[in-house]
Structure 1
Amino acid sequence: AVGYKTFSQKVVLEANQNKTLDINLEVGDMQMNEVVVTGTLKEVNRLETPVPVEVYNPTFFKMNPTPSVFEAMQNVNGVRPQMNCNVCNTGDIHINGLEGPYTMVLIDGMPIVSGLSSVYGLFGIPNAIIQRVEVVKGPASSLYGSEAVGGLINVITKNADNAPVFSADVTASSWQEYNTDLSYKFNAGSKASVLTGINYFNYSNPIDNNGDGFTDLTLQDRLSIFQKWNFNRKNNRLLSLAGRYMYEDRWGGQMQWSSENRGGDQVYGESIYTERWEVIGNYQLPVEEKMLLAFSYNNHDQNSYYGDMPYFANQKIAFSQLTWDKTLGNHDLLFGSAIRYTFYDDNTAATSAPDNLEANKPDKTWLPGIFAQDNIKINQKQSLLLGLRYDQHSEHGGIWTPRLAYKLAFNDNNIFRINAGTGFRVVNLFTEEHAALTGAREVEITEELNPEQSYNVNLNYIKKIYFNNGTFLGVDASAWYTYFENQILPDYETDPNKIIYDNLNGHAITQGVSINFDVELLNGLKLLAGTTFMDVYTEEEIDNQTVRSRPLLTERWSGTWGASYTISSLNLGIDYTGNFYSPMKLPVLGENDPRPDESPWWSIQNIKLSWTKSGSPWEIYGGVKNLLNFTPADNSIFRAHDPFDRNLDPDNPNLTFDPSYVYTSNQGIRGFLGLRYTLAK
């Protein structure tokens, strides 16, 4: 059946025998009819919502097992995990060419990953508790507020009622990476069900295959614990409460570095201790109207050294939102109010008093807002969504973000959508820009930074074709255009020893097209493939001339693919996944820097074999990652031999230690082996 895994079992039927055959089909990874919530803050069938939402369930991510959501996104078309540092390997998620801070990451609809935690938060969500991941590309500030400029990634966790009693997934790689995912559920009396997920990842094996004296892969020791309570209430009203705790110790640097060198100036290392906890809740009010109170709170502590440069920071975000869901005739209405409080403090000039850099002045901002949305069902084929939000930022004043979406369904197999809206983002450089922390370049802010504003139009078309021979073809094509005012981009090129920030004296454009294909053949072969073309640039007035430039680390072409096939007679599954990227500009240290100022075309490809017997709770899998053994050039870390710049070339004093020249991991080819156990009942 389309959307489900192929079922194969030998059955012998004898004459005059009354026999029943029970067939339980498992959900496949290429469904197009899922229920989604991210686009409209309501549960709605994916094909019915006017807002395009891409959905990826655990089967999709199991094609290429990874220890974190961050790495798992590498096979989503138009979404790229960007490595921001050659030494500590922190990163963020790019959507349609926009940098990580433009992407809002949520758990169960709550904005828990932003600012400081955008760099580290995606590494600590246990895979065992994930029901699906929803992706919206383009601004969604009319529903979610600041940071939802480039898009959304919403991690939907499992409900305990639908989760297995116990599951375990253990993986090891030839690089001696070890990952364990556990989940279990139990009933707390007759009033509540509880789901617990635990993730532990450890990598403690320094490797330097490129011979630069630095670790190729950051060493990590990470523990994450998640627990979610679902309470049984009258009239099936919703009440859930979830909490997550994550601790990570990661370091990268010179191979001889040890904890005794932390913060010193003899052996270079970047050492980061991260401790984070959060609470997420949803409570449906006990009234006849459908009213939902949602809230979240997170606390993020970071204790880190980048060489001999300390960076200590604390961020607290409290969020609450009340929504009223009301249907009147053909109007599906949603009204809401939200408030967010952000506290941020660190040991840099970012939180110092303007007239006294020695005096600490934490950044405290309030962001209350109200919004309204009307999804109008014009007729059986057409619907129109209108939305408007107003936010009152405590520092920047009032911000309006309207939204419009239109859907035309010619039939169930041909759907056209158009979305238009605005977005805004308030920037805190030190919570978002890792390169500002390395100490390799001086940070210079030339003016008071104003919020960024964006205007976006997105066209989407879905086509489903069912052939007579049982083959299914799904096509999902999109085109988008986004215009930015006041955009803030780091300038690495004016001065090789500085990162200069200011509001763009002009505008920025990101535009492009993408297309995804889903193919399912009657023999069980399933294919996913997609490609994206992006044209991203800025236009700025310099010396009375309009200068167009392309931002760093932005590719023009990218693509992903995945192929799955099961040999039923052998109970063997085969998955082949990969991606490719075109050249992108890289941050070099001026014209005398010997490193290329563009990356090459590159591709990461993986293959996985899995074995499981029908009805068995056990699954064994293994394979090879990075089949082509692609790694960046050996000199990606410039002056790795002199990270404290003690012996600079007097003729080229700007050629200093630089770990920010990075576009992908230095980790090469490796094998992996895993064992998975699932106790359904």
Structure 2
Amino acid sequence: MRKIFILLLLMGMSNLLYAQNSLRITIRSAEKNEPLAGVTTLIKGLNRSAYSDHEGILILKNVPSGKQILEFKLLGFKSKIDTVVVSENKTTEHKVVLNPEQEEIEEVVVSTTRRSRSISDLPTRVEAISGEELAEKANMKPGSIQMLLAESTGIQVQQTSATSANATIRIQGMDGRYTQLLKDGFPVYSGFASGLSIMQIPPLDLSQVEVIKGSASTLYGGGAIAGLVNMISRRPEAEPEYSFMFNGTSAKGFDASGFYASQYGKTGVTTYAAVNLQKAYDPSNTGFSAIPQFSRFTINPRLYQRLSSNQKLMVGIDASTENRLGGYMNYISGDRNESSYYERNLSKRIGSQLCYDNSLKGNTHLQIKNAFSWFDRSIDYRDHQFYGNQLLSFSELTLAGTTKGMDWVTGLNLSTEKFNQQKIQSGSKLNMHQISTGGFVQNTIKFKDWFSLEGGLRTDVVNWRSIYHEQRTEVFVLPRVSAFFRMAQYLTSRLGGGLGYKTPTIFTEDAEKIGFRNLNPIDPSKVKSEHSYGLNCDFNYRGIIADKITVSLNQLFYYTYLNNPLVLSDSSGIGSFSYANANGHIDSRGFETNLKLGYNELKLFLGYSFTDAKDHFNAIQVIKKLTPKHRINTVLMYEKEGSFRMGLEAYYFSEQLLNNGNKGQPYWVCGFMAEKKFSHFGLFINFENFTDIRQTKFSTVYSGTPDAPVFADVYAPLDGFVVNGGAKLSF
């Protein structure tokens, strides 16, 4: 008993001695010398652990004096073991520096917010499609960005013609006209050009595609109510590049393209050229083309010139021409029966871009941009023709800089849009003219390492008119704010919102469906612009588990409210269509979940989107037509860098409400692709929709007679199982 008492007494005395010993540890990153929060610290032999706070500090009390072995762990950083000598009866200071894992999480830089910044700490939420993901989608559909956008979470490609495959893109359940398309920050794909734009923009001369979902009108003006898509061109590198791609499909298609880039001292050039050929294809034997016959030619040369050490100039041209013919297969194949149904789209596009950059003193940057785009299109039916051309222009002057930790940019812009209808068979001409003058300011402030705020304000003065009516002038004041929060080293959040607007236009999905037939001009005295506001919040986690598995999880919540929506209706009841502002509003709410996992050569992408979009007209609530409420995206990819890759993908679409009141069938679309790379040569093959899902298996695509068909809404694939494959050459 006495021995036990003495032992307890000694233990108590030792604890009293420990109580005076403290260990204060400061932990920072080796790369940026930033404090690291959430670092797990383990005292080996004592089975004690603790975590560093947001300042990278942790304090351990009651630590025995003498040598202690400590282990430090944090996702994304190499584990580290240190030996610390703890002094007796005092606080021992110790500093730890952790190095990033060798397999770092890829850093992406974006420019759509007008300042080139890392996507990881940008207050505005931007999604980027680049690198191997961009190349993979280009293998599947080399002629257009349709596949690239269609397989992204929260984005839907809506086909507007059953026989010509014309289509627009929808973001978060909103119609295509509420999404703004840009090329290198130039908004030149609006209006009449929008009906064919995503079918004619090739992905092979792009280095990155950046997407902002939600109201973004403050950035580039009206039209970005649902969001915007900015396509970034490839630029010349130090080493010359020659690349060629040849692709053929089981659906009778052929693509050939070439890209050249080189830097000669202060001068750089890039040139992209392509030919895309397609024969009419009818896998369901309906008698009508599921894929139209077309031939398209494209050339996009660009010149990059460094004028001095602080001045540079870019001049580019985009040109394309296309002949697209869909309809009754017998007519397309050469039986020119006058009563046969057909739909022919002849289009020509030529545009120019100029960008001058000047780096001034004091971290100030001056940029002048100018673009023109001429688009000519005729739509011919057996008994109707719509023909016109559109001239777009965009000019912008911006001044940007960094002052006392603030990134700021301010500028002025002028944009014009003029549409002239060339031929008219009956009714009134649909000519429209719009001039928009705007000024904007944007500022990004990093208050703390864990908190940044981005605010913007734009004022636009818009004058628009149709040919037979007086001009209307409207003023729009558009604030926008976004906040960034870093709650831990790899856990961040964003919260943002802003206002938007869209001026009236005749070029909508509904007008495309009727071929602009019997359409009345818009009267500015009776129709006003659409106004919106949008909110979004997301949480993002990026890290590395068990030193091997990379993880990226993003959870987005959004809400968009659109007032005075412009709707097309036959109010006369005799087939004469007019636009009017609806009595009510449209709202879209939902969420998107994206998970990416990587383990050595394996990558898994999982995406889910929930979209609840509704029309609220005349106190009646109706689900938005042709909008799946649930979508699932899954992609499993194996890639041995520089050698081989293959992927399996599956996409789910829930039932959709159709314009006739019925509901479309839910369906899965599955695909498989593989690519083998050699030093300067590569082979690829893609099995798209290998389960052969076609809308014709669910219901008929048209009613009536082949000479006078009435087509149903297109909500599922019409082309079915298609195999494509080809070769790549690069030097």
TM category, shorter: 0.7 to 0.9
**Of the candidates 112, 117, 126, which is equivalent to residue 188 of structure 2?**
112
1:186 and 1:193 in contact (8 A); partners too? yes
The whole-number CA distance in structure 1 between the counterparts of 2:550 and 2:299 is 40
Whether 1:391 and 2:460 are equivalent positions in the alignment is yes
Name the structure 1 match of 2:537.
Answer: 459
Whether 1:315 and 2:419 are equivalent positions in the alignment is no
Q: For the structure 1 residues 281 and 445, does the alpha-carbon distance in structure 2 shift closer, same or farther, using more than 3 Å as the test?
A: closer
The whole-number CA distance in structure 1 between the counterparts of 2:192 and 2:261 is 32
- TM-superposed deviation, 1:511: 0.5
Gaps of 5+ in 2: 1-102, 464-471
The whole-number CA distance in structure 2 between the counterparts of 1:429 and 1:664 is 26
The whole-number CA distance in structure 2 between the counterparts of 1:586 and 1:491 is 16
Q: For the structure 1 residues 293 and 174, does the alpha-carbon distance in structure 2 shift closer, same or farther, using more than 3 Å as the test?
A: same
**Of the candidates 276, 279, 285, which is equivalent to residue 201 of structure 1?**
276
**Of the candidates 672, 675, 680, which is equivalent to residue 607 of structure 1?**
672
Name the structure 2 match of 1:373.
Answer: 442
Name the structure 2 match of 1:641.
Answer: 705
Deviation string, structure 1 residues 442-466 (Cα, Å, up to 9, x no partner) = 7797983211111111001110131
1:282-301 → structure 2 map (5 Å cutoff) = 282-285=355-358, 287-288=360-361, 289-301=364-376
**Of the candidates 78, 87, 93, which is equivalent to residue 163 of structure 2?**
87
Q: For the structure 1 residues 332 and 623, does the alpha-carbon distance in structure 2 shift closer, same or farther, using more than 3 Å as the test?
A: closer
- TM-superposed deviation, 1:564: 0.9
Name the structure 1 match of 2:498.
Answer: 421
Name the structure 2 match of 1:477.
Answer: 555
Name the structure 1 match of 2:53.
Answer: none
- TM-superposed deviation, 1:103: 0.8
Whether 1:411 and 2:488 are equivalent positions in the alignment is yes
Deviation string, structure 1 residues 306-345 (Cα, Å, up to 9, x no partner) = 3321010111110011111022213221111111011111
Q: Which has the higher contact order (CA 8 A, sep 6+)?
A: 1
1:349-364 → structure 2 map (5 Å cutoff) = 362-364=431-433
Q: Secondary structure at the match of 2:695?
A: coil
Deviation string, structure 1 residues 216-268 (Cα, Å, up to 9, x no partner) = 21111111111111112322433111111011110101111149888x85111
Name the structure 2 match of 1:53.
Answer: 126
Q: For the structure 1 residues 571 and 238, does the alpha-carbon distance in structure 2 shift closer, same or farther, using more than 3 Å as the test?
A: closer
Instruction: Kindly name which structure, 1 or 2, has the bigger radius of gyration based on alpha carbons.
Output: 2
Q: For the structure 1 residues 331 and 534, does the alpha-carbon distance in structure 2 shift closer, same or farther, using more than 3 Å as the test?
A: same
The whole-number CA distance in structure 1 between the counterparts of 2:135 and 2:574 is 42
The whole-number CA distance in structure 2 between the counterparts of 1:660 and 1:316 is 33
Q: For the structure 1 residues 564 and 258, does the alpha-carbon distance in structure 2 shift closer, same or farther, using more than 3 Å as the test?
A: closer
Q: For the structure 1 residues 533 and 81, does the alpha-carbon distance in structure 2 shift closer, same or farther, using more than 3 Å as the test?
A: same
Cα RMSD after superposing both structures: 2.8
2:496 and 2:537 in contact (8 A); partners too? yes
1:63 and 1:577 in contact (8 A); partners too? no
Name the structure 2 match of 1:41.
Answer: 114
2:413 and 2:438 in contact (8 A); partners too? yes
Greater Cα offset, 53-62 or 162-171: 162-171
Name the structure 2 match of 1:232.
Answer: 306
1:214 and 1:254 in contact (8 A); partners too? yes
Letter in 2 for 1:624: F
1:659-670 → structure 2 map (5 Å cutoff) = 659=711, 661-670=713-722
The whole-number CA distance in structure 2 between the counterparts of 1:497 and 1:676 is 51
Name the structure 1 match of 2:689.
Answer: 626
Name the structure 1 match of 2:723.
Answer: 671
1:559-578 → structure 2 map (5 Å cutoff) = 559-566=632-639, 571-578=643-650
The whole-number CA distance in structure 2 between the counterparts of 1:82 and 1:176 is 23
- TM-superposed deviation, 1:285: 3.8
Gaps of 5+ in 1: 1-27, 589-595, 645-656
Name the structure 2 match of 1:166.
Answer: 242
The whole-number CA distance in structure 2 between the counterparts of 1:260 and 1:529 is 46
Q: For the structure 1 residues 124 and 432, does the alpha-carbon distance in structure 2 shift closer, same or farther, using more than 3 Å as the test?
A: same
2:386 and 2:515 in contact (8 A); partners too? no
Deviation string, structure 1 residues 78-102 (Cα, Å, up to 9, x no partner) = 1111111101110011111111111
Q: Secondary structure at the match of 1:629?
A: coil
Name the structure 2 match of 1:213.
Answer: 287
- TM-superposed deviation, 1:625: 0.8
- TM-superposed deviation, 1:502: 2.2
Deviation string, structure 1 residues 569-591 (Cα, Å, up to 9, x no partner) = x9542111232111111122xxx
The whole-number CA distance in structure 1 between the counterparts of 2:530 and 2:707 is 35
Q: Secondary structure at the match of 2:566?
A: coil
1:63 and 1:575 in contact (8 A); partners too? no
Q: How many residues align structurally? A: 615
1:126 and 1:197 in contact (8 A); partners too? no
Q: Secondary structure at the match of 2:448?
A: coil
Q: Secondary structure at the match of 2:257?
A: strand
The whole-number CA distance in structure 2 between the counterparts of 1:78 and 1:163 is 38
The whole-number CA distance in structure 2 between the counterparts of 1:340 and 1:79 is 27
The whole-number CA distance in structure 2 between the counterparts of 1:320 and 1:427 is 22
The whole-number CA distance in structure 2 between the counterparts of 1:470 and 1:98 is 40
**Of the candidates 512, 516, 519, which is equivalent to residue 594 of structure 2?**
516
The whole-number CA distance in structure 1 between the counterparts of 2:240 and 2:687 is 29
Greater Cα offset, 454-463 or 178-187: 178-187
The whole-number CA distance in structure 2 between the counterparts of 1:554 and 1:619 is 38
Normalising by structure 2, we get a TM-score of 0.79
**Of the candidates 316, 339, 348, which is equivalent to residue 275 of structure 1?**
348
The whole-number CA distance in structure 1 between the counterparts of 2:424 and 2:727 is 49
Whether 1:302 and 2:377 are equivalent positions in the alignment is yes
Q: Secondary structure at the match of 1:502?
A: strand
- TM-superposed deviation, 1:183: 0.3
- TM-superposed deviation, 1:610: 1.4
1:300 and 1:315 in contact (8 A); partners too? yes
Letter in 2 for 1:411: A
2:166 and 2:199 in contact (8 A); partners too? no
- TM-superposed deviation, 1:348: 7.6
Deviation string, structure 1 residues 119-164 (Cα, Å, up to 9, x no partner) = 1122233332110100110111111111111111111011112675
The whole-number CA distance in structure 1 between the counterparts of 2:352 and 2:344 is 27
Normalising by structure 1, we get a TM-score of 0.85
Name the structure 1 match of 2:29.
Answer: none
The whole-number CA distance in structure 1 between the counterparts of 2:704 and 2:217 is 42
The whole-number CA distance in structure 1 between the counterparts of 2:562 and 2:396 is 28
Name the structure 2 match of 1:539.
Answer: 616
The whole-number CA distance in structure 2 between the counterparts of 1:574 and 1:185 is 28
The whole-number CA distance in structure 2 between the counterparts of 1:626 and 1:400 is 46
Report the identity percentage.
Answer: 21
Whether 1:581 and 2:658 are equivalent positions in the alignment is no
Whether 1:617 and 2:680 are equivalent positions in the alignment is yes
Letter in 2 for 1:137: K
Letter in 2 for 1:466: I
Q: For the structure 1 residues 163 and 577, does the alpha-carbon distance in structure 2 shift closer, same or farther, using more than 3 Å as the test?
A: farther
- TM-superposed deviation, 1:31: 6.2
2:164 and 2:289 in contact (8 A); partners too? no
Deviation string, structure 1 residues 433-483 (Cα, Å, up to 9, x no partner) = 444543788779798321111111100111013112411111011000111
1:489 and 1:502 in contact (8 A); partners too? yes
Name the structure 1 match of 2:626.
Answer: 553
Q: For the structure 1 residues 414 and 84, does the alpha-carbon distance in structure 2 shift closer, same or farther, using more than 3 Å as the test?
A: same
